[in-house]
């Protein structure tokens, strides 16, 4: 039984959550791209998902860079200051 250990690396922080459209704004500290598996973690728990929608200023993008604020569709509510990790 060989369980592969999942590594996680912090890539950003949630700056806002838009509940009416279930979108989180994230300030990036590391690059993030479509298809990455992420974990958004805060005091109320964590959600894991694959990024399927990413935008800057309502325009679709494939990748975000450090310093950018991106918006991603999330499957559950998140909170301001929740940490965003990429799972490898």
Residue range 5-51, pLDDT digits in tens: 789 999 999 999 999 999 999 999 999 999 999 999 999 999 999 99
pLDDT value at residue 58: 94
Task: Tell me how many helices (H) and strands (E) the chain has.
Answer: 0, 10
Nearest CA to 74 among 29, 11, 14, 8? 14
Could you give the 3-state DSSP secondary structure of residue 84? strand
pLDDT value at residue 12: 98
pLDDT value at residue 5: 76
Ordered domains of the chain (ranges, CATH): 8-87 (2.40.30.10)
pLDDT value at residue 6: 81
Cα 12 to chain centroid distance, Å, stands at 7
């Amino acid at each position: 039984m060989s369980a592969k250990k999942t590594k996680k690396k912090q890539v950003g922080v949630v700056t806002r959550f838009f509940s009416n459209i279930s979108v989180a704004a994230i300030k990036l500290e590391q690059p993030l791209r479509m298809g990455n598996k992420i974990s958004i973690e805060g005091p109320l728990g964590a959600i894991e998902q694959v990024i399927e929608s990413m935008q800057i200023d309502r325009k679709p993008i494939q990748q975000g860079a450090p310093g950018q604020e991106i918006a991603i569709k999330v499957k559950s509510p998140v909170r301001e200051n929740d940490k965003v990790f990429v799972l490898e």
